[in-house]
Amino acid sequence: MTDTAVDLIWLAPALALLGFVLNGTLAFARPNAKTIVSGIGAGVLLASFVVAIVVFRAFAGLHPEEAIVFRYWSWIPVGTLQVDFALQVDQLSLIMLLVVTGVGSLIHLFSIGYMKKDPGYARYFAYLNLFVFFMLVLVLGASFPVMFVGWEGVGLCSYLLIGFWFTEKTNADAGRKAFIMNRIGDFGFMVAMFMIFRDTGSLDFETVFVHAPTALVPAGGAVTAITLFLFLGCTGKSAQIPLYTWLPDAMAGPTPVSALIHAATMVTAGVYLVARCNVLFAMAPVSSAMVAGVGALTALFAASIALKQWDIKRVLAYSTISQLGYMFLGVGTGAMAAGIFHLTTHAFFKALLFLGSGSVIYAMHHVYHATHSHEDAQDMRNMGGLARYMPWTTALMWVATLAIAGVPPLSGFFSKDEILAAAFARGTANPVWFLFWLFGLAAALLTAFYMTRLMLYTFHGPNRTGEKEREHLHEAPWIMTGPLVVLGALSLAGGVINLPELVSGNAWLHHWLEPVTRAGAALLPETHLSHTAEWVLVAVAVVIAALGIVGAWRLLKPEALATARQAPEERGFARILRNKWYVDEIYDALIVRPLVWLSTEVLWKRVDQRAIDSAAVNGAARGARALGWANRWLQTGQVGVYVAIFVVGVLLIIWRAVG
Amino acid sequence: MILTFFWIFGVIAMLGGLLCITRRNPVASALWLVVTLFALAAMFVLLDAQFIAALQVLVYAGAIMVLFLFVIMLLNLGRPGPSDLKGPAGLAIAAVLGGLLLFQLRVLGQAPPPDAIQLPAGTVAEMQVRQGMVGAVANPLFEAYLIPFEIASLLLLAAIVGAVVLAKRKL
Amino acid sequence: MTLDLSVYSELLLALLPELVLTGWSLVLLTFVAWRHKTERDLRIAGWLTLAGLASTAVAVYWLWWNQTGIEGLAIMVAADDFRWVADWVFLGAAALTVLISFFYLARERLLVPEYYVLLLFATLGAMIMAAGTDLMVVFLGLELLSVAVYVLAGLDRRRARSAEAALKYFLLGAFASGFLLYGIALVYGATATTNFTLIGTQVGISGPSPMLLIGLALLIVGFGFKVAAVPFHMWAPDVYDGAPTPVTAFMATTVKAAAFAALFRLLITAFSSVAAWHDIVWWLAVVTMVGGNLFALGQRSFKRMLAYSSVAHAGYLLVAVTAGGSEGTGAFLVYAVAYTLMSLGAFAVLSAKGRSGESDVLIDDFAGLGSKRPWLAFAMSVCMLSLLGFPGTAGFIGKWYILIAATNADQNVLATILVLTSVVSAGYYLPVIMAMYMKPEPIEAAHVDVVFDRWARLAVTTVVVALLLFGVWPNRLFQLARTAGASIQPTNTTTT
Amino acid sequence: MTYQRLVITALLVWPILASLIVMLVPSRIARQVALTASLIEFAISVPLWWAFVPSNGMQFMVSRNWITAWGVRYMVGLDGISLFLVLLTTFLMPLSVLGSWSYITKHEKAFYALLLVLTTGMIGVFVALDLFLFYVMWEVMLIPMYFIIGVWGGENRLYAAIKFFIYTFFGSLLMLVAIIVLYLHTGRVTGVYSFSYTHLLTQISTLGPAAWWLFAAFFLAFAIKVPLFPFHTWLPDAHVEAPTAGSVILAGILLKMGTYGFLRFALPFFPDVALNQVMQFAIVGLALIGIIYGGLVAMVQPDFKKLIAYSSVAHLGFVVLGIWALTLQSVQGALLVMINHGISTGALFFLAGMIYERRHSRLIAAYGGIARVVPFFAAILTLVSLSSIALPGTNGFVGEFLVLLGSFQTYPVITALATTGVIVAAAYLLTALQRVIYNPLTDPENEKLPDLSARELAVLIPLLVCIIWLGVYPKPFLRRMEPAARQLIEQVRPGATQGQPPFTTAEAPEAAGTRGGRQ
Amino acid sequence: MLLSPALAISAVLFTLGVAGVLLRRNAIVIFMCIELMLNAVNLTFVALAQRLGMGGQIFVFFVMAVAAAEAGVGLAIILAVFRHKQSVSLQNMNLLRD
């Protein structure tokens, strides 16, 4: 107990849980009480956010150097394994807390408008509240198992929300795919936990991180394995190569869900985990390089796919994967603060982008609903020129686009630049990082390009919705636009929380996180970049971003675009990109189908039914019965046969007796 | 001399047995069996069992075999039945199994009882001289073997009852 | 009370049960000769039989109570606990057979009161076999038993099947007797005696000669035939099938138990120092268990299935024989009690179900009995489970005892084969239960003709109660079996 | 003290009495009587929760002479291992009765009576401390189950029933021989012939090479019951054909008898064999195969009950893994998985039965999209499925986590491979879930399905409560089973729990939020 | 002196009896073959009795009694069967079989 407002930390998840319970009950009892549902749903989140702010202020006032752990009850106490249900308040978890509750609140508000007409309204908010609860458990948990509760819990909510409109098979499939791919990652997380427990005898963050440097050999096999397994967990949750394919499919869920779960919060859990375990990763250079390398590769790879996607949300999804790659590049490099910084700014601008696209989709749906058209409301080829009808959305989306493209002085510029700079700096110690840096740079170019492409096709050029539909196009209601504005402001100015010293900022976030990252940072090689070098890097980044934007503006011709229905098939490389490098197909052919075939044809039908059941079990029974039946050949009723066998018996017995 | 006679009767008995089991006609079989029984009776005499030999002739050859013949005649089976003898397969089986059995029993002719339990030669003959031929059998029968004797009587009674039950006209 | 058998009065005392039973059978015979026309005569004959059995049981009990023993050498007969317990088993089996015969004979119109006379003679033969300590006595007892049972099997001579059964049984039985007799002759030749104890002594002195071994082998063949051990079992299914069901029940229980009783006494007292028979009986037991169980598995006819099952149980009892010693003998007695009860129970229910010899009753013909005749089905289930050796029934206790005896004699392999073949037996006992409870009756009136009079009901009730009682509370039975088992001892060869 | 003395006997005798009562009352009230009886049984068992003193080892002992000739005794008792299995049994029985309420439409009296007899058999197995008694109980429970499957089962019930019976019978009879050999061996060495568990334990070290065969016999009996691959093929048939209550009990309790046997007998009796390198890896390998194989085969099952059946193979694989790893965590985890599996899989079978009653199809393909029609059903099915795939916060997680965590200390590679079982679990159960309650509603027959009734909710809600309770606050369970688990491990591998602080001294703050950590 | 030949002859006779049972189908003839076996045993007994005392001869006496009893019962059974089948050939005894 600290006897300060920090003690109220339990309220944050508890409120979200309360929201889930109430909304869950309402979902059964009064599915149509939308006012109460939205009141509860958004209310608990806002209240959580308030709690978060209060706790943050109180915590900041205490200036603690170590985490404050609240142990509520003993959860799994077995011998040396003592897992308490405990929450941990420290600098890192507070940042996450603020992001989750803050962005979460905005998205809840947006959802009130977006989901207004949905019959599953109460269920939706129940799930959303539950998600926030688990997310808070994830970020606040004071031990690996408690974090794992949140870790899997958010996966569950993601599953439920992706498949929210479950009567479409593709949606339900996408949800399942997300869960199973996450489970692959969770497998890594679990194995990592087992190894951590074996080597350090505990699973509490505090104990583990304190003991790790002594209990584990730096750069040894154990710590490398632990961190690699942890990172496997991250690749699942944060959609990195090779487990990223679920995220684009996850766009099947309602758009606010994509904004909250699949952009701003849940998918960043992996980054959070690496940051949380910075000590372990710092001790395992191979793993760190792996993290950074996979991050950089993913950043580039996903960006390349985003170039040729037509579904507005899919572009954003690949963009998210790509940006997450940046974050991993950052934390893998050891620049924990930079990673978290990018996580935060990304939460702002990507949430904004998703919600903006949500506005667009909402509008398009509205249009198609009004005209009973069955066109795809998310295909950019059906949009175009929306700026005229949706000025607010367009403007805010541009802010976000510039932010993600890394145009100074928007938030994304600072965070991305910091990561790239850190990678470059690490490159001076270990040249492989230069490669990662180059990847990052290339990805930045592509990012600027595909985002401009998205804006261009969606909001500019001629309108392709059709004559009849056009008149129904208009801006979304204020309850939706409002949160956009707030996010726009944050995207614009989010950079202030960590202005680099280069521009005479105080790098607040960097210092704030120091108590958490210090231990890890101490283990990393010292790297230093001269101011000149930094300025050069900044210049390169800016040029790259500009190149991307301008390039897209010049190269792409929205006027020439045909609607989705009429569009011709892509050819050549474009086709490969359009089909996402055929990764899904490859997975399907290499893993899913063989496994199903193995299970059905070999294991079930051959091994189980034929070999074990038919041959061994029933075969034995049948064999015994057949022997019994075979007796018929002897038991013919003919005394002669009986006598003959009798005499044979006599002969045998005499033979045995005399020997 | 005795041995020669013994062998002569033995060969007769064996020949009779062989013919008994190979004659198609049941009556012929029965009569060959009677030959064997007589030969056996003769051997019994040579083995100092004159009373048993007499019984053999009276009971076996006289009563039991007559009963057999009587039934054969009653059932009008006095001519070769079409399927009385089994075919070559049956013959082969019988020959093989019989041969094997004989092969296994061959040791009997070579391994007499241990000397320790054998009475001095001629003891039985001498006892018969002392107690009379019938007495030598009758004395133990009514003393040491009283119980079996009584059981035998019950056995015969049971057989009579059984034969009556099976043969009586109506149930 | 110790008897000197060379004194006539004491000899008579030792033979008191047999004499009582003989007396009763003569009384019965007289009665039958005088009254043999009506069903009522038949019933009276039955009651007289029961009375005879009861008084014999009392006589047995009296001797038992007085702890009768024999002074010196047991010439011709023994007087020990083993005999008394075995006698009770035979008498009980015979009494239960009589109880189920009342309605059966009436239903099948078998107005043959001589049936009871023959039953008494057969029981007498069995008792003589259990008592005999001389091959001569055992042989004559066996023949008495056999002759009576040959006739009983063919009793229903209006049916060709019954007559055929009698013929097969008779021919093969006589054939087997020939081997038994030859065996006796050879043993006599090797030891100069037919008395068990003297044989034991002589064998202990001179050791096994080829003649003795062949004789022993042929003795085992003879007994193996009577107990229906594979490969001498082949008469059993046919004869059981053709004989009237109460007779089958009697054959499966008393005849088998008597042969085993004699075999036990013979092997333990006379041949305990001959190792060869262990090997022979071991193989016989294995083949019998495996064969009996497998062959039963192929049966659809209930009666034939029970016949093969009785073969299998003979195999289990042969395990007890192999185990030998007082444990094996005790196990044999307990199992004999259990087996007698459960086998009789099963045949009794079958006789209620069937018509004209029950040969056509398939296992599936019991379909739906569970709902139409629940008590009958319950009784049958208990019998089946007991035959299977299921806990809670006497069959289980018996099997457990045999297993203990076998394991105690370090016959672990045999014990394992026993339990494995028991698993096979589940494949044919369970379908009976399955048919009764889990299959619907083929037609509505499938079970209307299932009749049982009160005496048969009494018999079945007794069987079921006893099976369950011994299954849960076998202490008393064990005491009897243990003391009885200990009462036959191997001949001490060192003293002479 | 009277309670202590009488409780187990009461638990064993009352169901038998009650079954007689059920047979005597009219058919139409049979189920009410049975429900009351099973609730009474539960009520008798509930005070055990408090009366049980974890540190006291075996308690509530009763020992009476039974078959004096063989030294068989009626000896029963409970420790931290059997306590929960007994409680699970008494807890599931009323639910099973209630769950059969409308499912069983013929011969109700017999059905409920058999259910009660079954209760005695199952509890008997868990409390028996005399191997004769144990064996008797082990077999006795076969018959009621045989009837339950065979009389009230599905189309292929006869085959399933006899397969179930013979499979189990096969294993148990070999165990019977082993028991007797053990008994005679101990008797010969000590001169005291007794089937008492503790007595037999004294001479295990003198067994010599015979231990291998004895172990094999015990192992086979239990492995079939568990069921361990490749002895599992009776399970899908039995599960699929059994009526709801039968499946629930089969999965919930009967399978646990196998793992209980491992814990109670196979390991303590033959530690040297069980811990022999080759043997160890063979068994743990089988458990691993069970986990993966069961999951993969479950994944492609068209029949929902069969899917659950194969999932049981996988779950029980975890239990065996945990038991053989012999760490405090893994053994306690295995015990928890045993309980959890009873609850979760029990609930799954209840749900499968409920939907079957409505639609008369067990095929997954017959459904689809029914979440909208039957929301309660869908919600509960989802929750139970999540518990079954071990989502943290549900009971399933705690058990599996402990098993894997503990086993990892002993067999890192195998455990890591076994952990992939959680992926497979998600794959099969979520696929099935999707195909049942999600996806488009295509079959018009599914449009009018009634949602769960109050009675059905009454069956499921206690299970749901347990799912959450055990998931969030398993400590009361862990506390009670810890000393027993520790003792068992020490028996098999002395010194294995050294360094694991006993429960009582462990730092374990109780009340929520009242104590914070250090600042 | 005569013992060995007697035992050998008796073994041959016994075998002949067994072979006869194997060879024949007529129930009566088979029964006669069994009688042949019994007589072979009798020969053994008598031959042994010469060396081992009267027990063997007594046994032969009982064997004859048994043979007579069996003959009575057996022939009655054969008659009963004949009534049904008009045959005593065992080939026709096929009502009872698996």
Confidence of residue D512 (pLDDT cuts 50, 70, 90): very low
Instruction: Express each pLDDT in D377-397 by its tens digit.
Output: 999 999 999 999 999 999 999
Confidence of residue A1 (pLDDT cuts 50, 70, 90): low
CA dist A346 and C173 (Å) reads: 100
Would you call E26 and B77 a contact, using CB atoms and an 8 Å cutoff?
Answer: yes
Residue C494's pLDDT is what? 52
Find out whether E82 and A619 touch, Cβ atoms under 8 Å: no
For the segment D88-96, the average pLDDT, to the nearest whole number, is 95
Q: Chain C: nearest CA to A178, how far in angstroms?
A: 47
Does C72 have pLDDT greater than 90? Answer: no
- Across the interface, of A621, A645, A657, the residue whose CB is closest to C213 is A657
Instruction: Express each pLDDT in D432-448 by its tens digit.
Output: 999 999 988 888 888 88
Would you call C188 and E38 a contact, using CB atoms and an 8 Å cutoff?
Answer: no
Q: Could you give the angle at which helices C160-191 and E27-52 cross, rounded to 10 degrees?
A: 20
Find out whether A462 and A559 touch, Cβ atoms under 8 Å: yes
Mean pLDDT of chain D: 90
Confidence of residue C359 (pLDDT cuts 50, 70, 90): low
For the segment A471-495, the average pLDDT, to the nearest whole number, is 88
Mean pLDDT of chain C: 91
Does B126 have pLDDT greater than 70? Answer: yes
CA dist C281 and D251 (Å) reads: 44
Higher pLDDT: E28 or B85? It is E28
Is the backbone of residue A156 left (phi > 0), alpha (psi -120 to 50) or beta? Answer: alpha
CA dist A382 and A377 (Å) reads: 7
CA dist A176 and D226 (Å) reads: 30
Residue of C317, C352, C318 whose CA lies nearest to C337: C317
Would you call B148 and C15 a contact, using CB atoms and an 8 Å cutoff?
Answer: no
Confidence of residue C326 (pLDDT cuts 50, 70, 90): confident
Confidence of residue C341 (pLDDT cuts 50, 70, 90): very high
Residue B57's pLDDT is what? 92
Confidence of residue B82 (pLDDT cuts 50, 70, 90): low
Would you call C15 and B147 a contact, using CB atoms and an 8 Å cutoff?
Answer: yes
CA A152 to chain centre: 11
**Chain B residues close to E12, C-beta within 8 Å:** 14, 17, 102
Confidence of residue A477 (pLDDT cuts 50, 70, 90): confident
Provide the whole-model pTM.
0.93
ipTM: 0.94
Residue A216's pLDDT is what? 87
CA dist A121 and C478 (Å) reads: 75
Residue A466's pLDDT is what? 78
**Chain C residues close to B117, C-beta within 8 Å:** 191-192, 202, 206
Does C215 have pLDDT greater than 90? Answer: yes
Residue D514's pLDDT is what? 39
The answer for residues whose C-beta is within 8 angstroms of residue C19's C-beta and 6 or more apart is C12
Residue C134's pLDDT is what? 94
Residue of D234, D252, D315, D306 whose CA lies nearest to D99: D252
Does A4 have pLDDT greater than 60? Answer: yes
Does D161 have pLDDT greater than 80? Answer: yes
Residue D507's pLDDT is what? 45
Percentage of chain A with pLDDT > 90?
A: 47
For the segment D272-280, the average pLDDT, to the nearest whole number, is 90
Higher pLDDT: B168 or A486? It is A486
Q: Chain C: nearest CA to E91, how far in angstroms?
A: 11
Structure tokens at B149: 């004797």
| Bridge partners (DSSP) listed for residue D128 | D76
A174-183, A446-455, D158-167, E86-95, range with the lowest pLDDT: E86-95
Q: Could you give the angle at which helices A285-306 and A432-459 cross, rounded to 10 degrees?
A: 30
Instruction: Express each pLDDT in C137-186 by its tens digit.
Output: 999 999 999 999 999 999 888 888 999 999 999 999 999 999 999 999 99
Instruction: Express each pLDDT in C233-277 by its tens digit.
Output: 999 999 999 999 999 999 999 999 999 999 999 999 999 888 889
Would you call E69 and B49 a contact, using CB atoms and an 8 Å cutoff?
Answer: no
Would you call C175 and E95 a contact, using CB atoms and an 8 Å cutoff?
Answer: no
Would you call D300 and A168 a contact, using CB atoms and an 8 Å cutoff?
Answer: no
- Give the containing element (helix H, strand E) for C168: helix C160-191
CA dist D221 and D176 (Å) reads: 9
Confidence of residue A118 (pLDDT cuts 50, 70, 90): confident
For the segment A504-529, the average pLDDT, to the nearest whole number, is 84
Find out whether D8 and D60 touch, Cβ atoms under 8 Å: yes
- Percent of chain D that is helix, strand, coil (3-state, to 5): 75, 5, 20
Does D508 have pLDDT greater than 50? Answer: no
Would you call C298 and A630 a contact, using CB atoms and an 8 Å cutoff?
Answer: yes
**Residue contacts between B and E (CB atoms, under 8 Å):** 245
Higher pLDDT: B168 or C479? It is C479
Confidence of residue D73 (pLDDT cuts 50, 70, 90): very high
Percentage of chain C with pLDDT > 90?
A: 72
Does D518 have pLDDT greater than 50? Answer: no
**Chain D residues close to A163, C-beta within 8 Å:** 434, 438
The answer for residues whose C-beta is within 8 angstroms of residue D116's C-beta and 6 or more apart is D15, D16, D18, D19, D22, D34, D37, D38, D93
Would you call A654 and B86 a contact, using CB atoms and an 8 Å cutoff?
Answer: no
CA D88 to chain centre: 8
Q: Chain D: nearest CA to C208, how far in angstroms?
A: 32
- Across the interface, of B148, B162, B166, the residue whose CB is closest to C140 is B148
Residue C98 forms contact with B (CB below 8 Å): no
A416-425, C51-60, C243-252, range with the lowest pLDDT: A416-425
DSSP notation for C413-443 = HHHHHHHHHHHHHHHHHHHHHHHHHHS--SS
| Bridge partners (DSSP) listed for residue C2 | C69
Instruction: Express each pLDDT in D444-479 by its tens digit.
Output: 888 888 999 999 999 999 999 999 999 999 999 999
Instruction: Express each pLDDT in C282-321 by its tens digit.
Output: 999 999 999 999 999 988 899 999 999 999 999 999 999 9
Instruction: Express each pLDDT in C199-214 by its tens digit.
Output: 999 998 888 888 999 9
Structure tokens at D503: 């429960």
| Interface D:E, ≥3 CB–CB pairs < 8 Å | no
- Across the interface, of D431, D503, D516, the residue whose CB is closest to A7 is D516
| Bridge partners (DSSP) listed for residue A85 | A73
Residue D504's pLDDT is what? 57
Residue D23's pLDDT is what? 93
In chain A, DSSP finds a helix count (H) and a strand count (E) of 28, 2
Q: Chain A: nearest CA to D464, how far in angstroms?
A: 15
Residue D2's pLDDT is what? 86
Residue E63 forms contact with B (CB below 8 Å): no
Measured between CA atoms, the residue of chain B closest to residue C163 is B166
Instruction: Express each pLDDT in C415-441 by its tens digit.
Output: 999 999 999 999 999 999 999 999 888
- Across the interface, of D69, D157, D174, the residue whose CB is closest to C416 is D174
**Chain A residues close to C279, C-beta within 8 Å:** 656
